[in-house]
Amino acid sequence: MPHDHDHDHHHAHAVLPSEPALRVKALETLLTEKGLVDPAALDAIIDTYQNKIGPKNGAEVVARAWADPAFKAALLADGTAAVSEMGFYGRQGEHVMVVENTPEVHNMVVCTLCSCYPWPLLGIPPAWYKSDAYRARAVREPREVLAEFGVTLLPTQKVRVWDSTAEMRYLVLPMRPEGTEGLSAEDLATLVSRDSMVGTGLAQGPAT
């Protein structure tokens, strides 16, 4: 058997400041001084995920699938190709699979080993998705976790949990709410929450 990992005993990080904000600042300063990081590039990365790429992209995909059966069929057959055509290909969304909720199946996505999440469609994952509690429990007791999100399933629905152990990235296609016939894709998109595309929420009907 090969010997244990050399790197296990390395704790270079321990020399950094104890305050997390200062720790980040120290790394940024050092890498900038070495000519390895452009602070304006950091601003651009942050702007991308704060303002440009987020759950609105996924909602646009879902609304289009609800409104256009041919697109829905294409999306379920080859998620990567269908979302790429809408301009939603990119980092952490190179291999996309869309899974459809029906009266028989409720899908829910987790990454028990880290925090894999479809960035180009949903943006940066929320804190709860990355939390130990969600990672530990979503696979073992998904129905209890759903209850903590206030989700009530139909008695006919089984739960299918997708643990994102590889580079496949999962988007849940929620069920289209009642009373949305005749709404435009644009209006439909406003009904699609981030959580409904992770499977910890349901798409809500229009406010009455």
Partner 1 sequence: MSRIHDMGGRFGDGAVIPDTPDAPVFDKDWHARALAVTLAAGALGQWNLDISRHSRERLAPKDYSRFSYYEKWMAALANLLVEKGVVTEEELQAGHAKGGSPLADRKLMAANVGAALAKGGPVDRPGPTPRFKPGERVQTRHPTANAFVAGGHTRLPSYASGQTGEVRAFHGCHIFPDAHAHGRGEDPQPIYAVAFPAQALWGAGADPRDEVILDLWEPYLERADG
The answer to whether the beta carbons of residues 142 and 77 sit under 8 Å apart is no
Query: CA dihedral in degrees (132, 51, 45, 40; nearest 10)?
Result: -140
What are the angstrom distances between the C-alpha of 34 and each of 28, 38, 63? 10, 10, 47
The answer to whether the beta carbons of residues 106 and 199 sit under 8 Å apart is yes
Q: Which is nearer to partner 1, 42 or 68 (CB)?
A: 42
Q: Which of residues 45-74 bind partner 1 (CB under 8 A)?
A: 45-46, 48-50, 53-54
Active-site hit among 111, 164, 193, 196:
111
115 belongs to the catalytic site = yes
107 φψ region: left (φ > 0), alpha (ψ -120 to 50), beta (else): beta
H helix or E strand, kind and range, residue 107 = strand 105-110
Of 62, 118, 188, 193, which lies in the binding site for partner 1, with binding defined by CB under 8 A? 193
Contact characters 21-40, partner 1, x per CB under 8 A: x-xxxxxxxxx-xxxxxx-x
Contact characters 148-187, partner 1, x per CB under 8 A: xxx-------xxxxxxxxxxx-------------------
Q: Which is nearer to partner 1, 50 or 187 (CB)?
A: 50
Active-site hit among 84, 116, 131, 196:
116
Six-digit token string for 164: 């994102």
116 belongs to the catalytic site = yes
Of 56, 71, 78, 90, which lies in the binding site for partner 1, with binding defined by CB under 8 A? 90
142 binds partner 1 (CB under 8 A): yes
196 belongs to the catalytic site = no
Contact characters 91-120, partner 1, x per CB under 8 A: xxxxx--------------x-xxxx----x
**CB count in 10 Å sphere of residue 147:** 12
d(C-alpha 185, C-alpha 163), whole Å: 30
Of 42, 73, 77, 81, which lies in the binding site for partner 1, with binding defined by CB under 8 A? 42
184 belongs to the catalytic site = no
